[in-house]
Structure 1
Amino acid sequence: MKGILQTALYTLAAATVATAQLPVVPTDLKTITTPQGVNIRYKEPQICETTPGVKSYSGFIDVDDDNHLFFWFFESRRDPGNDPITLWLNGGPGGDSMNGVFEELGPCFLNEDLSTRLNPNSWNEVSNMLFLSQPAGVGFSYGSKTTDPLEQIVMGGMTEVLEGRFATADWAKTNSTESAAVTAWNAIQAFCAGLPQLAPDVRSSTFNLATESYGGHRGTGFINHFWKQNKLIANGTITGSELNIDSLIIINGLIDTRTQAASYPRFARNNTHGVEVNDSVADYMEFSLTMDVNGCHAMIDACEAYYAVDNGTTASGRLACSEASTACRRGSELPYVVYSGIEDVYDVRNKTEFPNPAPVTPTYLNQAKIQRALGVDTNYTTKDNLQVLAAFWATGDYINPKIMRQFEELLDDAPVRIALIYGDSDFICSWYGGENVSLTANYSGAEDFRKAGYVPLMVDGVRYGDTREYGNFSFTRVFDAGHMVPWWQPEASLAMFNRTLNGRDIATGNVKIRDGYGTVGQPESTYSQKLNRGGPSKKKRSAQNSVKFRSRLSG
């Protein structure tokens, strides 16, 4: 989800480069053919990660004729032989994991002059990191390639025709979390099979998945699918190699729309940053959730009724879920965006004081020297593929009621540690919504988790947030962080990641997690930051009257 609303700006920045020339077809890729017959084409880029002795590999996993997935694998800076493997996925759907490399937790950040600087808090400090661009059509991943002119949406809703060679795909083939999970499983099976040849120094088989935003869907759906595939392999139903799944980390994730949508009026009325709207607007947001006709919850009820019968496979069922998506976002999200005066739904704080990463990732990846280094031959047009987003939206995947049930299954039965991490200045996937998911999930340890209290998240003597934890499940609110928590609080993010991987408590890292362990603290996280916002964006905004307010929504 992160970046979809900003795609126009990033695309415009990349457009001039994309029109320059066709990328050179690489001739120096090495090829590994796995026992499954899958080719992995790769090279060593020798860019971004400049730590002496630390290797990285980029290229393509040719899963099948329709899925050639781009990957970038970074060895651990600490101990590549024994440190685990972590798959990172950005959200969207359609968000490229190169966002994670350059703007969050990868080995380097980009400067505005397109140079790079080393990230001392990169997650490959403690883990081997695999960044995968998926589904096909996202980033450099492709189903096929075309040199036909590409029409892209740019600033102000205008379009611009780009010349070059572009990655494309059949969007109808991977248009749901379920279909994406199947392709991802096949890709990871191939990658793990080829890893001894690709990176012989890496010996650990421990596997983690970390993700954010729409990754609440993807992370849950993927790990649930991987876990069930493991069981089928174990009982001889299918062939393959079991994944040694250790943990799932979700950052500001969308897991369940019904549960999380209820947080929008609360955030609009009284968030800890003081960026609020008048009660009349918040009241309407609450009303839009519960009204009998076309209300968010009523529309989700209709979607779930279809799922109970057709499991989300019929056109009528998908339409009902897609319409529910629109109703929920239009009624419960949009009013705050319109009337709060915020500049960024992913971080409600003033962007002059709290700037996002430099928006130069597409421009950087469109440089001929970078494309040669990575072994790619297509132009990079956008960090967030709107066609993928539209395909998932059309199937109603945004509402998909199975995701919450799969999340509860993992909590109940899977031997997987789950860490929810939410920055508290994000509106679109707010910490209130994430907290709602953690407290309403129905599983065997739910009551014990709810009884556990919040304790301070401490890193090097600094309090970065509050954590509630019981057993293998934790929820953490991170102070003063937007949607991309690793960008805003890099030290705390790396510490939480390391503690999750090593079976330590999230709050301090001093306690080895065991059955029955739980935090003992306050029932609520009450820390509050109230920003003084000047200029045209007032601290509180209100509709002048209900007629004008509703006309803005319908327009």
Structure 2
Amino acid sequence: MTFHALLVVLVGATSVIASQFPLNSNSNFATYDTGLFNQVDDIRTLSTNGYTTLTHPIHPQYSVRIKQNGAESCDNSVKSYTGYIDIEARHLFFSFFESRNDPSKDDVVLWTNGGPGCSSSLGLYMELGPCRIQSDNSTVYNPYAWNEKVNIFFIDQPVGVGFSYAEYGEAVGRYIPTFGARIADDNKRAVLKGLEPINLVSLIIGNGMTDTARMATSYYDIQCTSASVPAFQDIADCVRMKRAIPRCEALIQASCVDIYDEMNCRAAFAFCGAEFEAPFQKTGRNTYDVSKDCEGDRQETLCYPITKTISNYLNRPEVRTELGVDPIVGNHSSCSTKVQSAFVTTNDLFAEHAEFYVAELLERNIKVLIYVGTYDMICNWIGNERFTLNLEWTGREQFASQKLRNWIIDGHPAGKTRGYGGLTFATVEGAGHMVPYDKPAEALTLISRWVDDEEL
């Protein structure tokens, strides 16, 4: 495996969920850097004791620190690497696991968690990574890890999340569609300059906050209809929510869409939150899985005590040494309240309109998969389905005309799906917000069919 191909992935580290490239590249573009710096011809020769730092004279403000993990790593059946992408004073921590199948040919998938402000260690150690963390601080092999099929790359972003850090200042992250759009635009410019583009094939959004406006009103459907579980709110509360829907939609349209007014937009979402979210908080149910009550402190564990177990594991000195965590970084936490607050302060969640980016990516033949667990409340399937049906792209009418149908695993329905052209929407029955955690076999089948370009 040449480092040239890995670098292609790293350059797109702030990108989207799926990029694909042959890991042994014979492209003529590879000669561009000849004589400027020494490539690492085989990343498997990297040291396990410390970082190898990769730099380039044309981009002195950028570097990559990377080390190979030893026998005590999460899954010693495959090669794995950790490190930092250094961008001036900002340093993004990453983990990379080779595929258990054919790493030199398999696709490369980039995974980043949402939150906003949550570490991708949750995805790695709780959902789809090659191992799971046990209560005794040990790890156990995950047979349903996504690296059964693909090379997988996890990144903590933005700075201030997980093991990522900044020497000064702080950046606020953006959504996956924005990352994908940036790669697509930069690819066009790279080709014009005779440089090698990132082979961005698709993006996947799992239980994403794709459209805050449609998501807000869909909380009524989750609480007061049988869209997820049987209706669980009092009738009086449901009537109040139902009556609030038109006003919520009108306020958001007037202050956040037609004309963006930060103060009034914030007030609109405050009204919607009071009408639709506040009643839910009183139920004691898990925001990420309405079929269950919240376990532990909601703010501290996200209703999943395993998140604290993961942080305890990652705070062990020997684990930090093995991963090469920079000593400047303090204790690990699953989610950063500081970063979450930054998103709220800047109105980032409300000001960005992901639908425009997704539509433009579809027009450029970049495939998009939106998958959602049916038990999720916060980023639920109703809101995400409405998001897909309202995307303004040339395939809109044909996509909307497709009826939802079952997608099948081993002869049994795993959820519903609709697809046309490059856009696919899928639910995973019985899963909450963390689909690979709740339904690991179904999640692995979903990603396998997607990268193989098969219909669900």
TM range (shorter): 0.7 to 0.9
- Whether contact under 8 Å (1:321, 1:397) holds in the other structure is no
Query: 2:240 corresponds to which letter in structure 1?
Result: Y
User: Counterpart in 2 of 1:287?
Assistant: 243
Q: Give the RMSD, CA atoms, in angstroms.
A: 2.2
Q: Contact 2:92/2:156 (CA < 8 Å) preserved in 1?
A: yes
**Contact conserved, 1:246 with 1:417, CA < 8 A, in 2?**
yes
Distance 2:68 2:335 in 1: 25
2:287 corresponds, among 332, 345, 353, to 345
Match of 1:392 in 2: 343
2:306 counterpart of 1:358? yes
Q: Decide whether the 8 Å contact of 1:285 with 1:335 is kept in 2.
A: no
SS across alignment from 2:105: coil
Greater shift in the superposed pair: 361-370 or 441-450: 441-450
**Structure-2 residue corresponding to 1:511:** none
Distance 1:84 1:426 in 2: 29
Write the mapping of 1:432-451 to structure 2, written as runs, cut at 5 A.
432-451=382-401
2:211–2:384 contact (8 Å) kept in structure 1? no
Residues 300 and 399, structure 1, Cα contact 8 Å, conserved in 2: no
For 2:63, which of 21, 31, 39 is the aligned residue?
A: 39
What is the DSSP-based 3-state SS (H/G/I as helix, E as strand, rest coil) of the residue aligned with 1:70?
strand
Q: Which residue of 1 aligns with 2:35?
A: none
| TM superposition shift of 1:450 | 1.3
Check conservation: 2:131, 2:141, Cα contact below 8 A: yes
Equivalent of 1:270 in 215, 225, 244: 225
Same amino acid, percent of matched pairs: 32
Instruction: Describe the shift of the 1:299–1:476 C-alpha distance in structure 2 as closer, same or farther (beyond 3 A).
Output: closer
Matched residue of 1:274: which SS?
coil
Q: Are the aligned partners of 1:176 and 1:395 in contact in 2 as well (CA < 8 Å)?
A: no
Match of 1:473 in 2: 423
d(CA) in 2 for partners of 1:352 and 1:384? 17
Q: Structure 1 residues 143 and 318 mapped into 2: Cα distance closer, same or farther (>3 Å)?
A: farther
- Provide TM-score, normalisation by structure 2: 0.81
Q: Quick one: which of 272, 293, 310 aligns to 1:328?
A: 272
CA drift at 1:96: 0.6
User: Displacement of 1:240 after TM fit?
Assistant: 5.8
Determine the structure 2 residue equivalent to 1:246. 201
- How far residue 296 of structure 1 moved from its aligned partner, in angstroms, is 5.3
Q: Partner of 2:92 in structure 1?
A: 69
Query: TM-score scaled by structure 1?
Result: 0.67
Which one of the candidate residues 146, 151, 156 is aligned to 1:123? Answer: 146
2:356 is matched with which residue? Answer: 405
Q: 1:300 to 1:364 in 2, by over 3 A?
A: farther
1:374 aligns with 2:374: no
Contact kept, 8 Å, 1:322 with 1:398, in 2: the verdict is no
Superposed structure 1 runs of 4+ greater than 4 Å apart: none
The yes-or-no answer on 1:228 pairing with 2:228 is no
- Classify the secondary structure of the residue corresponding to 1:82: coil
Paired residue secondary structure (2:109): strand
Q: Give the counterpart letter for 1:105 in structure 2.
A: L
Number of the residue aligned with 2:24: none
Mapped contact 2:65–2:85 kept (Cα < 8 A) = yes
Measure how far apart 1:456 and its partner are: 1.7
Partner Cα separation in structure 2 for residue 453 and residue 431 of structure 1: 15
Q: How far apart, CA to CA, are the structure 1 residues paired with 2:352 and 2:335?
A: 25
Task: Please list the CA deviations of residues 328-387 of structure 1 after superposition, one character each: whole Å capped at 9, or x if unmatched.
Answer: 32322222332xx2431100113599x946230111110000000011122324111111
> How does 1:101-140 map onto structure 2 within 5 Å?
101-140=124-163
Conserved in 2, the CA contact under 8 Å of 1:419 and 1:475?
Answer: yes
Give the aligned partner of residue 214 of structure 2: 259
